[in-house]
Structure 1
Amino acid sequence: MIVDSHVHVIAEDASRYPSILRSRDENAWYSTHPVTAEELLALMDDGGVAWTILVQPIQVYGSDNSYLADSCAAYPDRLRGVAVVDVGEPAAMRADLHRSIREQGLAGIRVNLATGAETIDPRCHPLLESAAESDVPVLVRVTPEQLPQLPALIKRFPGVAFVLDHCGFVDFRDGPDGRGAAPLFEVGAHDNLYVKVSTMNLYGVADDPGTLLKELGRCFGTDRLVWGSDYPHTCDRGYAGLVDYAREAARALPGEGAEDYLGRTAAKLWCPSPGSPAGS
Protein backbone atom coordinates (compact mmCIF):
# COMPACT_ATOMS: atom_id res chain seq x y z
CA MET A 1 0.00 0.00 0.00
CA ILE A 2 1.34 3.41 -1.00
CA VAL A 3 0.55 6.46 1.11
CA ASP A 4 1.70 9.86 -0.08
CA SER A 5 2.31 11.97 3.01
CA HIS A 6 2.68 15.38 1.38
CA VAL A 7 0.35 16.88 -1.24
CA HIS A 8 -1.17 20.36 -1.46
CA VAL A 9 -4.62 20.95 -2.98
CA ILE A 10 -5.90 24.27 -4.31
CA ALA A 11 -9.60 25.08 -4.65
CA GLU A 12 -11.12 26.29 -7.91
CA ASP A 13 -13.62 28.41 -5.97
CA ALA A 14 -11.53 31.37 -4.81
CA SER A 15 -14.58 33.11 -3.36
CA ARG A 16 -15.43 30.29 -1.01
CA TYR A 17 -11.78 29.54 -0.22
CA PRO A 18 -9.91 32.87 -0.42
CA SER A 19 -6.13 33.00 -0.63
CA ILE A 20 -3.95 35.08 1.66
CA LEU A 21 -1.72 36.02 -1.28
CA ARG A 22 -1.42 39.78 -1.68
CA SER A 23 -0.36 39.33 -5.28
CA ARG A 24 -0.46 36.12 -7.27
CA ASP A 25 2.79 34.93 -8.83
CA GLU A 26 1.74 33.58 -12.22
CA ASN A 27 4.94 31.50 -12.39
CA ALA A 28 4.47 29.84 -9.00
CA TRP A 29 3.33 26.24 -8.69
CA TYR A 30 -0.10 27.19 -7.34
CA SER A 31 -0.72 29.14 -10.56
CA THR A 32 0.88 26.82 -13.12
CA HIS A 33 -0.03 23.40 -11.66
CA PRO A 34 -2.87 23.73 -9.14
CA VAL A 35 -4.68 20.50 -8.32
CA THR A 36 -8.10 20.11 -6.73
CA ALA A 37 -9.07 17.21 -4.48
CA GLU A 38 -11.07 15.63 -7.30
CA GLU A 39 -8.19 15.91 -9.75
CA LEU A 40 -5.87 14.42 -7.15
CA LEU A 41 -8.09 11.37 -6.69
CA ALA A 42 -7.79 10.55 -10.39
CA LEU A 43 -4.01 10.98 -10.22
CA MET A 44 -3.86 8.70 -7.18
CA ASP A 45 -5.72 6.00 -9.08
CA ASP A 46 -3.30 6.30 -12.01
CA GLY A 47 -0.29 6.14 -9.69
CA GLY A 48 -1.54 3.30 -7.50
CA VAL A 49 -1.70 5.44 -4.35
CA ALA A 50 -4.15 4.28 -1.68
CA TRP A 51 -4.15 7.30 0.61
CA THR A 52 -2.87 10.85 0.45
CA ILE A 53 -2.14 13.07 3.43
CA LEU A 54 -3.07 16.61 2.46
CA VAL A 55 -0.79 19.23 3.99
CA GLN A 56 -2.02 22.77 4.34
CA PRO A 57 -0.21 25.04 1.81
CA ILE A 58 0.84 27.84 4.16
CA GLN A 59 1.76 30.36 1.48
CA VAL A 60 -1.64 30.08 -0.21
CA TYR A 61 -4.14 29.73 2.66
CA GLY A 62 -2.15 30.45 5.82
CA SER A 63 -3.90 28.80 8.76
CA ASP A 64 -7.36 28.75 7.15
CA ASN A 65 -7.69 25.00 6.74
CA SER A 66 -11.21 25.12 5.27
CA TYR A 67 -10.53 23.65 1.84
CA LEU A 68 -8.27 20.94 3.20
CA ALA A 69 -10.87 19.97 5.82
CA ASP A 70 -13.75 19.99 3.32
CA SER A 71 -11.74 17.83 0.90
CA CYS A 72 -11.02 15.24 3.58
CA ALA A 73 -14.65 15.24 4.70
CA ALA A 74 -15.79 14.66 1.12
CA TYR A 75 -13.42 11.74 0.52
CA PRO A 76 -12.71 10.16 3.92
CA ASP A 77 -11.66 6.82 2.44
CA ARG A 78 -8.78 8.33 0.43
CA LEU A 79 -7.73 11.63 1.99
CA ARG A 80 -6.46 12.59 5.44
CA GLY A 81 -5.47 16.11 6.45
CA VAL A 82 -2.74 17.91 8.37
CA ALA A 83 -3.84 21.37 9.48
CA VAL A 84 -1.66 24.38 10.14
CA VAL A 85 -1.91 25.91 13.61
CA ASP A 86 -0.17 29.23 14.12
CA VAL A 87 2.17 29.62 17.08
CA GLY A 88 0.88 32.34 19.38
CA GLU A 89 -1.36 32.78 22.39
CA PRO A 90 -1.87 29.46 24.26
CA ALA A 91 -5.66 29.52 24.46
CA ALA A 92 -5.98 30.37 20.77
CA MET A 93 -3.60 27.56 19.78
CA ARG A 94 -5.52 25.03 21.84
CA ALA A 95 -8.80 26.22 20.33
CA ASP A 96 -7.39 25.94 16.80
CA LEU A 97 -6.10 22.43 17.47
CA HIS A 98 -9.42 21.36 18.97
CA ARG A 99 -11.31 22.74 15.98
CA SER A 100 -9.00 21.03 13.49
CA ILE A 101 -9.00 17.63 15.17
CA ARG A 102 -12.34 17.36 16.97
CA GLU A 103 -14.62 19.45 14.77
CA GLN A 104 -13.06 19.18 11.31
CA GLY A 105 -11.85 15.61 11.79
CA LEU A 106 -8.29 16.19 10.59
CA ALA A 107 -5.52 13.74 11.40
CA GLY A 108 -2.66 15.95 12.57
CA ILE A 109 -1.19 19.42 12.70
CA ARG A 110 1.70 21.21 11.04
CA VAL A 111 3.73 23.70 13.07
CA ASN A 112 5.86 26.13 11.11
CA LEU A 113 8.84 27.10 13.27
CA ALA A 114 10.97 28.09 10.25
CA THR A 115 10.02 31.76 10.48
CA GLY A 116 13.47 33.36 10.22
CA ALA A 117 14.65 32.94 13.80
CA GLU A 118 17.58 30.63 14.50
CA THR A 119 15.98 29.41 17.72
CA ILE A 120 12.80 27.36 18.15
CA ASP A 121 10.01 29.53 19.48
CA PRO A 122 9.12 28.28 23.00
CA ARG A 123 5.60 29.57 22.52
CA CYS A 124 4.94 26.30 20.68
CA HIS A 125 5.10 24.36 23.97
CA PRO A 126 1.40 24.70 24.93
CA LEU A 127 0.43 23.58 21.44
CA LEU A 128 2.62 20.49 21.73
CA GLU A 129 1.10 19.72 25.14
CA SER A 130 -2.34 19.83 23.52
CA ALA A 131 -1.15 17.62 20.65
CA ALA A 132 0.05 15.05 23.19
CA GLU A 133 -3.32 15.15 24.95
CA SER A 134 -5.14 14.72 21.63
CA ASP A 135 -2.72 11.98 20.50
CA VAL A 136 -2.11 13.48 17.06
CA PRO A 137 1.18 13.59 15.12
CA VAL A 138 2.93 16.93 14.68
CA LEU A 139 4.55 17.76 11.36
CA VAL A 140 7.29 20.19 12.37
CA ARG A 141 8.90 22.58 9.92
CA VAL A 142 12.34 23.81 11.00
CA THR A 143 15.50 25.12 9.35
CA PRO A 144 18.94 23.46 9.42
CA GLU A 145 20.05 26.12 11.93
CA GLN A 146 17.25 25.04 14.29
CA LEU A 147 17.94 21.30 14.04
CA PRO A 148 20.45 21.20 16.94
CA GLN A 149 17.59 22.30 19.24
CA LEU A 150 15.18 19.64 18.00
CA PRO A 151 16.35 16.79 20.30
CA ALA A 152 15.55 18.84 23.41
CA LEU A 153 12.05 19.55 22.07
CA ILE A 154 11.50 15.88 21.23
CA LYS A 155 12.60 14.78 24.70
CA ARG A 156 10.48 17.45 26.39
CA PHE A 157 7.34 16.04 24.72
CA PRO A 158 7.78 12.24 24.62
CA GLY A 159 4.06 11.76 24.03
CA VAL A 160 4.14 13.59 20.70
CA ALA A 161 4.97 11.81 17.45
CA PHE A 162 7.13 14.39 15.66
CA VAL A 163 7.47 14.17 11.88
CA LEU A 164 10.37 16.27 10.60
CA ASP A 165 9.23 18.03 7.44
CA HIS A 166 11.42 17.69 4.32
CA CYS A 167 14.44 16.40 6.31
CA GLY A 168 14.79 19.81 7.96
CA PHE A 169 15.69 21.34 4.57
CA VAL A 170 19.34 20.31 4.89
CA ASP A 171 21.69 20.35 1.89
CA PHE A 172 22.40 16.86 0.51
CA ARG A 173 24.51 17.94 -2.47
CA ASP A 174 27.68 16.56 -0.87
CA GLY A 175 25.96 13.34 0.05
CA PRO A 176 24.69 11.97 3.37
CA ASP A 177 28.13 12.30 4.95
CA GLY A 178 28.64 15.89 3.80
CA ARG A 179 28.73 19.00 5.94
CA GLY A 180 25.31 20.16 4.72
CA ALA A 181 23.57 17.00 5.92
CA ALA A 182 25.36 16.84 9.29
CA PRO A 183 22.74 18.79 11.32
CA LEU A 184 20.10 16.22 10.38
CA PHE A 185 22.13 13.13 11.21
CA GLU A 186 23.31 14.70 14.47
CA VAL A 187 19.69 14.79 15.66
CA GLY A 188 19.87 11.00 15.91
CA ALA A 189 17.14 8.44 16.47
CA HIS A 190 14.39 9.02 19.03
CA ASP A 191 11.39 6.87 19.85
CA ASN A 192 8.98 9.66 18.91
CA LEU A 193 10.75 11.03 15.81
CA TYR A 194 9.92 10.33 12.17
CA VAL A 195 11.60 11.86 9.12
CA LYS A 196 9.73 12.85 5.97
CA VAL A 197 11.95 12.28 2.93
CA SER A 198 10.18 14.07 0.10
CA THR A 199 10.92 14.34 -3.60
CA MET A 200 12.89 17.56 -3.08
CA ASN A 201 15.21 15.68 -0.70
CA LEU A 202 15.71 12.81 -3.15
CA TYR A 203 16.43 15.34 -5.89
CA GLY A 204 18.99 17.05 -3.66
CA VAL A 205 21.42 14.12 -3.82
CA ALA A 206 24.05 14.38 -6.54
CA ASP A 207 24.30 10.61 -6.93
CA ASP A 208 21.83 7.76 -6.32
CA PRO A 209 18.96 8.88 -4.03
CA GLY A 210 18.77 5.31 -2.76
CA THR A 211 22.09 5.92 -0.99
CA LEU A 212 20.46 8.72 0.98
CA LEU A 213 17.55 6.51 1.99
CA LYS A 214 19.91 3.77 3.16
CA GLU A 215 21.87 6.18 5.35
CA LEU A 216 18.72 7.75 6.77
CA GLY A 217 17.42 4.27 7.50
CA ARG A 218 20.61 3.38 9.36
CA CYS A 219 20.42 6.54 11.45
CA PHE A 220 16.71 6.82 12.22
CA GLY A 221 15.36 3.36 11.36
CA THR A 222 13.69 2.44 8.07
CA ASP A 223 10.35 2.24 9.90
CA ARG A 224 10.73 5.94 10.82
CA LEU A 225 10.93 7.22 7.24
CA VAL A 226 7.89 8.47 5.34
CA TRP A 227 7.62 9.45 1.69
CA GLY A 228 5.94 12.56 0.36
CA SER A 229 5.69 13.57 -3.29
CA ASP A 230 5.35 17.31 -2.50
CA TYR A 231 2.97 17.48 -5.46
CA PRO A 232 2.17 19.88 -7.12
CA HIS A 233 4.90 22.05 -5.58
CA THR A 234 7.12 19.44 -7.22
CA CYS A 235 5.55 18.49 -10.53
CA ASP A 236 8.28 18.03 -13.13
CA ARG A 237 7.61 14.31 -13.71
CA GLY A 238 3.85 14.39 -13.33
CA TYR A 239 2.26 12.67 -10.36
CA ALA A 240 2.64 9.07 -11.55
CA GLY A 241 6.27 9.81 -12.41
CA LEU A 242 6.95 11.03 -8.87
CA VAL A 243 5.44 7.82 -7.48
CA ASP A 244 7.61 5.70 -9.77
CA TYR A 245 10.69 7.71 -8.82
CA ALA A 246 10.01 7.06 -5.13
CA ARG A 247 9.47 3.35 -5.77
CA GLU A 248 12.79 3.09 -7.57
CA ALA A 249 14.71 4.92 -4.83
CA ALA A 250 13.07 2.78 -2.14
CA ARG A 251 14.51 -0.39 -3.68
CA ALA A 252 17.74 0.46 -1.85
CA LEU A 253 16.15 -0.05 1.56
CA PRO A 254 16.74 -3.45 3.17
CA GLY A 255 14.08 -5.91 4.32
CA GLU A 256 10.64 -4.35 4.51
CA GLY A 257 12.07 -0.84 4.52
CA ALA A 258 10.55 0.05 1.16
CA GLU A 259 7.06 -0.88 2.34
CA ASP A 260 7.54 1.20 5.49
CA TYR A 261 8.86 4.23 3.62
CA LEU A 262 6.31 4.17 0.80
CA GLY A 263 3.24 3.85 2.98
CA ARG A 264 3.08 1.60 6.00
CA THR A 265 4.58 4.08 8.46
CA ALA A 266 2.49 6.98 7.17
CA ALA A 267 -0.64 4.83 7.46
CA LYS A 268 0.18 4.11 11.10
CA LEU A 269 0.65 7.80 11.80
CA TRP A 270 -2.32 9.31 9.96
CA CYS A 271 -4.64 6.51 8.80
CA PRO A 272 -5.64 4.46 11.86
CA SER A 273 -8.01 2.22 9.86
CA PRO A 274 -6.81 2.37 6.26
CA GLY A 275 -8.66 -0.73 5.12
CA SER A 276 -8.19 -1.64 1.50
CA PRO A 277 -9.23 1.33 -0.62
CA ALA A 278 -8.77 1.45 -4.37
CA GLY A 279 -5.10 1.58 -5.29
CA SER A 280 -3.88 -0.52 -2.36
Structure 2
Amino acid sequence: MIVDTHLHLINKSALTYPWLTGVPALDRDFLYSTYEAEARRVGIETALHMEVDVDPGEMELETSEVRQLSQKAGSLLKGAIVACRPEEDGFAAYLERQQGDRLVKGFRRVLHVVPDDLSEGSLFRENIKLLGGSRFTFDLCVLPHQIPKAIALADLVPDLQFVLDHCGVPDIRNGAEHPWRDHMREIAKRPNVVAKISGVVAYADESWNVETLRPYVEHTIATLGWDRVVWGSDWPVCTLGANLSTWVATTHALLEHCSPDERTKLLSANARRIWNLA
Protein backbone atom coordinates (compact mmCIF):
# COMPACT_ATOMS: atom_id res chain seq x y z
CA MET A 1 0.00 0.00 0.00
CA ILE A 2 1.09 3.56 -0.71
CA VAL A 3 1.23 6.85 1.18
CA ASP A 4 0.94 9.74 -1.28
CA THR A 5 2.91 12.63 0.22
CA HIS A 6 2.17 15.14 -2.54
CA LEU A 7 -1.45 15.52 -3.62
CA HIS A 8 -2.76 18.79 -5.03
CA LEU A 9 -6.49 19.48 -5.21
CA ILE A 10 -7.87 22.27 -7.37
CA ASN A 11 -11.36 23.64 -6.73
CA LYS A 12 -11.82 26.87 -8.64
CA SER A 13 -15.25 27.49 -7.17
CA ALA A 14 -13.75 27.69 -3.68
CA LEU A 15 -10.23 29.11 -4.16
CA THR A 16 -8.21 31.36 -6.45
CA TYR A 17 -5.10 30.06 -8.23
CA PRO A 18 -3.39 32.96 -10.06
CA TRP A 19 -0.72 30.76 -11.66
CA LEU A 20 -3.16 28.44 -13.42
CA THR A 21 -3.76 30.87 -16.28
CA GLY A 22 -0.22 30.10 -17.39
CA VAL A 23 -0.82 26.33 -17.46
CA PRO A 24 -3.98 25.76 -19.53
CA ALA A 25 -3.84 21.96 -19.12
CA LEU A 26 -4.32 22.36 -15.36
CA ASP A 27 -6.67 25.34 -15.41
CA ARG A 28 -9.77 23.45 -14.29
CA ASP A 29 -11.08 21.56 -11.30
CA PHE A 30 -9.20 18.51 -10.04
CA LEU A 31 -11.38 17.39 -7.16
CA TYR A 32 -10.89 14.91 -4.34
CA SER A 33 -13.60 12.59 -5.62
CA THR A 34 -11.79 12.18 -8.94
CA TYR A 35 -8.47 11.51 -7.23
CA GLU A 36 -9.91 9.10 -4.67
CA ALA A 37 -11.52 6.84 -7.24
CA GLU A 38 -8.24 6.27 -9.08
CA ALA A 39 -6.06 6.29 -5.97
CA ARG A 40 -7.93 3.44 -4.32
CA ARG A 41 -7.60 1.34 -7.47
CA VAL A 42 -3.80 1.62 -7.42
CA GLY A 43 -3.29 0.98 -3.70
CA ILE A 44 -3.00 4.48 -2.24
CA GLU A 45 -4.39 4.32 1.29
CA THR A 46 -3.22 7.64 2.77
CA ALA A 47 -2.56 11.06 1.28
CA LEU A 48 -1.08 14.38 2.36
CA HIS A 49 -2.43 17.45 0.62
CA MET A 50 0.21 19.80 -0.73
CA GLU A 51 -0.62 23.49 -0.98
CA VAL A 52 -1.38 24.69 -4.51
CA ASP A 53 -0.02 28.25 -4.36
CA VAL A 54 -3.43 29.84 -3.95
CA ASP A 55 -3.88 33.59 -3.66
CA PRO A 56 -1.94 34.50 -0.47
CA GLY A 57 -5.08 35.83 1.18
CA GLU A 58 -6.65 32.37 0.87
CA MET A 59 -3.89 30.23 2.39
CA GLU A 60 -5.84 29.43 5.56
CA LEU A 61 -9.05 28.99 3.57
CA GLU A 62 -7.26 26.30 1.55
CA THR A 63 -6.43 24.48 4.78
CA SER A 64 -10.05 24.73 5.86
CA GLU A 65 -11.19 23.22 2.57
CA VAL A 66 -8.77 20.30 3.02
CA ARG A 67 -9.95 19.83 6.59
CA GLN A 68 -13.55 19.43 5.48
CA LEU A 69 -12.51 16.74 3.02
CA SER A 70 -10.37 14.97 5.62
CA GLN A 71 -13.29 14.75 8.05
CA LYS A 72 -15.47 12.74 5.69
CA ALA A 73 -15.84 9.07 6.59
CA GLY A 74 -13.08 6.97 5.06
CA SER A 75 -11.16 9.94 3.68
CA LEU A 76 -7.66 9.23 2.40
CA LEU A 77 -6.53 12.68 3.54
CA LYS A 78 -4.56 12.48 6.79
CA GLY A 79 -2.66 15.75 6.75
CA ALA A 80 -1.72 18.90 4.90
CA ILE A 81 1.49 20.66 3.95
CA VAL A 82 0.27 24.25 3.94
CA ALA A 83 1.40 27.41 2.19
CA CYS A 84 3.39 30.10 3.99
CA ARG A 85 5.24 33.35 3.40
CA PRO A 86 8.40 33.36 5.55
CA GLU A 87 9.48 36.59 3.86
CA GLU A 88 6.64 38.48 5.55
CA ASP A 89 6.25 39.95 9.04
CA GLY A 90 3.08 37.98 9.69
CA PHE A 91 4.76 34.58 9.52
CA ALA A 92 5.30 34.17 13.27
CA ALA A 93 1.62 34.81 14.00
CA TYR A 94 0.61 32.51 11.16
CA LEU A 95 2.84 29.76 12.55
CA GLU A 96 1.34 30.21 15.99
CA ARG A 97 -2.14 29.66 14.58
CA GLN A 98 -1.05 26.35 13.05
CA GLN A 99 0.63 24.95 16.16
CA GLY A 100 -2.46 23.30 17.58
CA ASP A 101 -3.84 22.11 14.25
CA ARG A 102 -2.99 18.42 13.95
CA LEU A 103 -4.02 18.40 10.29
CA VAL A 104 -1.07 20.66 9.48
CA LYS A 105 2.05 18.53 9.09
CA GLY A 106 4.38 21.05 7.48
CA PHE A 107 4.85 24.10 5.31
CA ARG A 108 5.96 25.02 1.82
CA ARG A 109 6.99 28.19 0.05
CA VAL A 110 7.53 27.53 -3.66
CA LEU A 111 10.94 29.04 -4.40
CA HIS A 112 11.31 28.56 -8.15
CA VAL A 113 8.62 31.17 -8.88
CA VAL A 114 10.28 33.97 -6.90
CA PRO A 115 13.65 35.74 -7.16
CA ASP A 116 16.59 33.49 -6.27
CA ASP A 117 17.59 35.73 -3.38
CA LEU A 118 14.23 35.57 -1.57
CA SER A 119 15.38 32.73 0.68
CA GLU A 120 18.53 34.68 1.52
CA GLY A 121 16.64 37.57 3.09
CA SER A 122 17.15 38.13 6.81
CA LEU A 123 13.43 38.02 7.65
CA PHE A 124 12.92 34.83 5.63
CA ARG A 125 15.79 33.16 7.44
CA GLU A 126 14.76 34.29 10.90
CA ASN A 127 11.25 32.99 10.27
CA ILE A 128 12.47 29.63 8.98
CA LYS A 129 14.48 29.28 12.19
CA LEU A 130 11.19 29.42 14.10
CA LEU A 131 10.41 25.98 12.68
CA GLY A 132 13.55 24.44 14.14
CA GLY A 133 12.90 21.67 16.64
CA SER A 134 9.18 21.65 15.86
CA ARG A 135 6.98 18.82 14.62
CA PHE A 136 6.66 20.53 11.24
CA THR A 137 8.51 19.83 8.01
CA PHE A 138 9.43 22.34 5.30
CA ASP A 139 9.19 21.39 1.64
CA LEU A 140 11.81 22.73 -0.76
CA CYS A 141 10.53 23.20 -4.31
CA VAL A 142 13.48 24.43 -6.35
CA LEU A 143 15.03 24.03 -9.78
CA PRO A 144 18.42 22.30 -10.15
CA HIS A 145 20.42 25.54 -10.22
CA GLN A 146 18.68 26.59 -6.99
CA ILE A 147 19.55 23.48 -4.99
CA PRO A 148 22.46 25.36 -3.34
CA LYS A 149 19.83 27.76 -1.95
CA ALA A 150 18.05 24.75 -0.46
CA ILE A 151 21.34 23.49 0.97
CA ALA A 152 21.89 26.84 2.66
CA LEU A 153 18.51 26.58 4.38
CA ALA A 154 19.19 23.02 5.52
CA ASP A 155 22.47 24.19 7.03
CA LEU A 156 20.76 27.18 8.64
CA VAL A 157 18.25 25.05 10.57
CA PRO A 158 19.80 21.62 11.19
CA ASP A 159 16.99 20.58 13.55
CA LEU A 160 14.27 21.09 10.95
CA GLN A 161 13.20 18.27 8.63
CA PHE A 162 13.42 19.52 5.05
CA VAL A 163 11.80 17.70 2.14
CA LEU A 164 13.17 18.18 -1.38
CA ASP A 165 10.30 17.92 -3.84
CA HIS A 166 10.30 16.05 -7.15
CA CYS A 167 13.86 14.67 -7.01
CA GLY A 168 15.10 18.26 -7.21
CA VAL A 169 13.13 18.90 -10.46
CA PRO A 170 15.71 17.55 -12.95
CA ASP A 171 15.42 18.66 -16.58
CA ILE A 172 14.49 15.24 -17.89
CA ARG A 173 12.96 16.62 -21.07
CA ASN A 174 16.36 17.80 -22.24
CA GLY A 175 18.33 14.93 -20.71
CA ALA A 176 20.25 17.36 -18.52
CA GLU A 177 21.96 15.74 -15.55
CA HIS A 178 24.38 18.50 -14.57
CA PRO A 179 24.65 20.40 -12.29
CA TRP A 180 21.70 18.46 -10.91
CA ARG A 181 23.71 15.29 -10.15
CA ASP A 182 26.43 17.09 -8.20
CA HIS A 183 23.94 19.26 -6.35
CA MET A 184 21.97 16.17 -5.30
CA ARG A 185 25.12 14.57 -3.93
CA GLU A 186 25.82 17.72 -1.93
CA ILE A 187 22.34 18.17 -0.45
CA ALA A 188 22.29 14.47 0.45
CA LYS A 189 25.14 15.17 2.88
CA ARG A 190 22.62 17.04 5.04
CA PRO A 191 20.96 14.46 7.33
CA ASN A 192 17.94 16.74 7.85
CA VAL A 193 16.92 16.45 4.19
CA VAL A 194 14.72 13.78 2.63
CA ALA A 195 13.66 13.66 -1.01
CA LYS A 196 10.37 12.96 -2.73
CA ILE A 197 10.20 10.59 -5.66
CA SER A 198 7.26 12.57 -6.94
CA GLY A 199 5.74 13.45 -10.26
CA VAL A 200 8.91 13.39 -12.34
CA VAL A 201 6.87 12.26 -15.34
CA ALA A 202 5.81 15.90 -15.67
CA TYR A 203 9.40 16.87 -16.55
CA ALA A 204 9.82 14.38 -19.40
CA ASP A 205 8.70 14.76 -23.00
CA GLU A 206 5.77 12.79 -24.40
CA SER A 207 7.97 9.94 -25.62
CA TRP A 208 9.25 9.04 -22.13
CA ASN A 209 9.38 5.50 -20.77
CA VAL A 210 10.63 3.84 -17.60
CA GLU A 211 14.25 4.00 -18.70
CA THR A 212 13.94 7.74 -19.37
CA LEU A 213 13.18 8.32 -15.70
CA ARG A 214 15.41 5.64 -14.17
CA PRO A 215 18.72 7.60 -14.00
CA TYR A 216 17.06 10.45 -12.11
CA VAL A 217 15.08 8.34 -9.69
CA GLU A 218 17.93 5.93 -8.99
CA HIS A 219 20.45 8.73 -8.45
CA THR A 220 18.10 10.36 -5.95
CA ILE A 221 17.66 7.12 -4.03
CA ALA A 222 21.37 6.26 -4.21
CA THR A 223 22.45 9.63 -2.80
CA LEU A 224 19.80 9.98 -0.09
CA GLY A 225 19.45 6.30 0.86
CA TRP A 226 16.32 4.23 1.39
CA ASP A 227 15.56 5.77 4.79
CA ARG A 228 15.37 9.28 3.34
CA VAL A 229 13.06 8.98 0.34
CA VAL A 230 9.26 9.13 0.14
CA TRP A 231 6.77 8.78 -2.71
CA GLY A 232 4.36 11.37 -4.07
CA SER A 233 1.96 11.51 -6.98
CA ASP A 234 2.09 15.25 -7.63
CA TRP A 235 -1.43 14.79 -8.98
CA PRO A 236 -2.69 16.55 -11.07
CA VAL A 237 0.63 18.09 -12.16
CA CYS A 238 1.78 14.56 -13.01
CA THR A 239 -0.97 14.43 -15.65
CA LEU A 240 1.18 16.69 -17.80
CA GLY A 241 3.17 13.49 -18.41
CA ALA A 242 0.96 10.60 -17.32
CA ASN A 243 -2.17 9.80 -15.36
CA LEU A 244 -1.96 8.67 -11.75
CA SER A 245 -2.25 4.96 -12.57
CA THR A 246 0.60 5.14 -15.09
CA TRP A 247 2.86 6.96 -12.63
CA VAL A 248 2.15 4.34 -9.95
CA ALA A 249 2.84 1.51 -12.43
CA THR A 250 6.05 3.24 -13.50
CA THR A 251 7.14 3.53 -9.88
CA HIS A 252 6.67 -0.21 -9.37
CA ALA A 253 8.71 -0.86 -12.52
CA LEU A 254 11.49 1.41 -11.25
CA LEU A 255 11.53 -0.56 -7.99
CA GLU A 256 11.65 -3.99 -9.62
CA HIS A 257 15.13 -4.83 -8.29
CA CYS A 258 14.76 -3.48 -4.76
CA SER A 259 13.96 -5.55 -1.68
CA PRO A 260 10.51 -5.70 -0.07
CA ASP A 261 11.88 -3.69 2.85
CA GLU A 262 13.26 -0.99 0.56
CA ARG A 263 10.00 -0.81 -1.37
CA THR A 264 8.00 -0.44 1.84
CA LYS A 265 10.25 2.34 3.11
CA LEU A 266 9.83 4.41 -0.04
CA LEU A 267 6.13 3.80 -0.59
CA SER A 268 4.85 4.14 2.97
CA ALA A 269 7.03 3.51 6.03
CA ASN A 270 9.29 6.57 5.78
CA ALA A 271 6.32 8.88 5.26
CA ARG A 272 4.51 7.42 8.26
CA ARG A 273 7.59 8.01 10.41
CA ILE A 274 8.38 11.52 9.17
CA TRP A 275 4.85 12.88 9.46
CA ASN A 276 3.73 10.67 12.37
CA LEU A 277 0.90 9.10 10.41
CA ALA A 278 -1.12 6.26 11.87
TM-score greater than 0.5 by the shorter chain: yes
CA separation in 2, counterparts of 1:27 and 1:177? Answer: 28
Name the structure 2 match of 1:78: 76
TM-score (norm 1): 0.81
Instruction: Go from structure 1 to structure 2 and tell me whether the alpha carbon gap of 1:149 and 1:35 turns closer, same or farther (over 3 Å shift).
Output: closer
Query: Is residue 235 of structure 2 the alignment partner of residue 231 of structure 1?
Result: yes
The answer as to whether partners of 1:7 and 1:52 remain within 8 angstroms in 2 is yes
**How is 1:94-243 mapped onto 2 (pairs within 5 angstroms)?**
94-103=92-101, 105-119=103-117, 120-122=119-121, 123-172=123-172, 178-200=178-200, 204=204, 207-235=211-239, 236-243=241-248
The answer as to whether partners of 2:132 and 2:159 remain within 8 angstroms in 1 is yes
> Sequence identity, in percent?
21
Instruction: Go from structure 1 to structure 2 and tell me whether the alpha carbon gap of 1:176 and 1:222 turns closer, same or farther (over 3 Å shift).
Output: farther
Stretches of structure 2 that go unaligned for 5 or more consecutive residues are none
CA separation in 1, counterparts of 2:141 and 2:19? Answer: 23
Instruction: Go from structure 1 to structure 2 and tell me whether the alpha carbon gap of 1:54 and 1:221 turns closer, same or farther (over 3 Å shift).
Output: same
CA separation in 2, counterparts of 1:52 and 1:254? Answer: 24
Query: Is residue 260 of structure 2 the alignment partner of residue 265 of structure 1?
Result: no
CA separation in 2, counterparts of 1:52 and 1:252? Answer: 26
2:107 partner SS: strand
CA separation in 1, counterparts of 2:221 and 2:140? Answer: 19
Instruction: Go from structure 1 to structure 2 and tell me whether the alpha carbon gap of 1:22 and 1:29 turns closer, same or farther (over 3 Å shift).
Output: closer
Aligned-residue offset at 1:193: 0.5
The answer as to whether partners of 2:184 and 2:223 remain within 8 angstroms in 1 is no
TM-score (norm 2): 0.81
**How is 1:4-19 mapped onto 2 (pairs within 5 angstroms)?**
4-11=4-11, 14=13, 17-19=14-16
The answer as to whether partners of 1:114 and 1:143 remain within 8 angstroms in 2 is yes
Alignment RMSD? 2.9
Instruction: Go from structure 1 to structure 2 and tell me whether the alpha carbon gap of 1:233 and 1:106 turns closer, same or farther (over 3 Å shift).
Output: same
Aligned residue pairs, count: 266
Moved more, 98-107 or 42-51: 98-107
Aligned-residue offset at 1:36: 1.6
The answer as to whether partners of 1:224 and 1:265 remain within 8 angstroms in 2 is yes
Aligned-residue offset at 1:191: 1.6
Q: Deviations over 1:50-92 (max 9, x none)?
A: 111111111x4446242344323442562111101013234x1
Aligned-residue offset at 1:229: 1.2
Letter in 1 for 2:164: L
Aligned-residue offset at 1:224: 0.8
1:28 partner SS: helix
Instruction: Go from structure 1 to structure 2 and tell me whether the alpha carbon gap of 1:101 and 1:54 turns closer, same or farther (over 3 Å shift).
Output: farther
2:265 partner SS: helix
Moved more, 158-167 or 143-152: 143-152
CA separation in 2, counterparts of 1:25 and 1:265? Answer: 34
Q: Deviations over 1:235-255 (max 9, x none)?
A: 254322222222221224456
CA separation in 2, counterparts of 1:22 and 1:177? Answer: 27
Letter in 2 for 1:44: A
The answer as to whether partners of 2:138 and 2:160 remain within 8 angstroms in 1 is yes
Instruction: Go from structure 1 to structure 2 and tell me whether the alpha carbon gap of 1:21 and 1:115 turns closer, same or farther (over 3 Å shift).
Output: closer
Letter in 2 for 1:30: D
Aligned-residue offset at 1:20: 4.3
Instruction: Go from structure 1 to structure 2 and tell me whether the alpha carbon gap of 1:11 and 1:211 turns closer, same or farther (over 3 Å shift).
Output: same
CA separation in 1, counterparts of 2:23 and 2:112? Answer: 25
CA separation in 1, counterparts of 2:115 and 2:23? Answer: 29
Name the structure 2 match of 1:29: 26
CA separation in 1, counterparts of 2:20 and 2:47? Answer: 29
